[in-house]
Amino acid sequence: MKRIIKLNMNEMPYLPPQEIIEAARKSLLNLNRYSNPEDLERLRELLVDYSGVPKEHIILGPGSDFLLREAIQTFSKRRKVILVSPSFFPTVQTAKQFATKLISIRLSPPEFDLNLDLLIDELKEPSLVIVDNPNNPTGKILLNRQAVEAITENKNTLLLIDEAYYEFSGITFARMVQNRPNLAITRTMDKGFSLAGARVGYILAGKAFLDAFSSFYALLPQSSLHAAIEALKNPGYMKRNIHQVIEERKRVMRALDKLDVRVFPSSANFFLAMTEIPDVERKLRDVGILISDLSNQLPPGFIRISTGTREENDIFVAGYKKIRS
């Protein structure tokens, strides 16, 4: 059976330590029971220490994409939804499904900068603004503190920032949610913590979001809950893995640059590239390598490549050379 190299899902290529796997496995002995509310509170307490945000501002959920979907469903009924384009594709699809009015602010190549003036000009009516920061798929940081302040100054605007790749970028606006009721931040333990299979997400929510989610209660699966608790008790492994991924990302980008591929700076565990090889996603798939074709959001030739292990990355570079020749 041909080996498949998966560089299309932005997953962490390294397993979490054995003690985290063992915590998840041990919890299966109580598979006939619902998760203990005390364990949910323990997870929130650990997230307080990790995020610097008080417990009453933390909402748990089965993945940040689920929480994003809930927010869009809740707030899009009476508000215009504003997204950046390109953006995290499931968020785009949810907004198209539920928004009565949808506006996209284009991030144009090659800089992919956010036109803040254009965005602010759209806030003349009640709005829900959703920005992934870093942006997926460009890897670009789109917001700074001044931009967040400018957007949230408008009291009829809700700003939801997706920080799924915070552990890679190191940039967050988490501590602003206490004083900005119309600000919320979604995060996930899928990426930096190597827990994509556990599906643990959370919102750091200002009061306007807390009020809307007041009746929301997430009962996380036993194994997910205990894996997340163990991971937050010993986050050193996450930091080591992040460092490895960043170094590998840089190495692959340098290798592709030498192959005349245009690569774009990234603050995530993936990067954006532009290639002249037609139908490159299919050609790589034919040799067992999966990447993301972005033709549904960007001009032809743009692809997104997740960072794998050193071995996986070497196979990818060799595969690219093969289809290029």
CATH of the domain at 262: 3.90.1150.10
58 and 153 housed in the same domain: yes
Contact 83, 95 (CB under 8 A): yes
Share of the chain above pLDDT 70, in %: 100
Angle at 37 between CA 31 and CA 42, to 5 degrees: 105
Mark which of 211, 233, 255 sits at the end of a domain: 233
40 and 87 housed in the same domain: yes
Which run of H or E residues covers position 108?
none
Contact 125, 103 (CB under 8 A): no
Contact 155, 183 (CB under 8 A): no
E strand map for 137-278 = 157-162, 183-188, 201-205, 262-263, 270-274
216 and 244 housed in the same domain: no
Beta bridge partners of 106: 85
pLDDT tens sequence across 253-287: 999 999 999 999 999 999 999 999 999 999 999 99
74 and 99 housed in the same domain: yes
Average pLDDT over the chain reads 96
pLDDT tier, 213 (very low <50, low <70, confident <90, very high otherwise): confident
Q: What is the DSSP letter of 17?
A: P
User: 21 vs 214, which has greater pLDDT?
Assistant: 21
How far is the C-alpha of 168 from the C-alpha of 194, rounded, in Å?
A: 13
64 and 106 housed in the same domain: yes
For residue 241, give its domain range: 5-14+237-324
pLDDT tier, 1 (very low <50, low <70, confident <90, very high otherwise): low
27 and 10 housed in the same domain: no
Q: Based on the structure, what is the number of domains in the chain?
A: 2
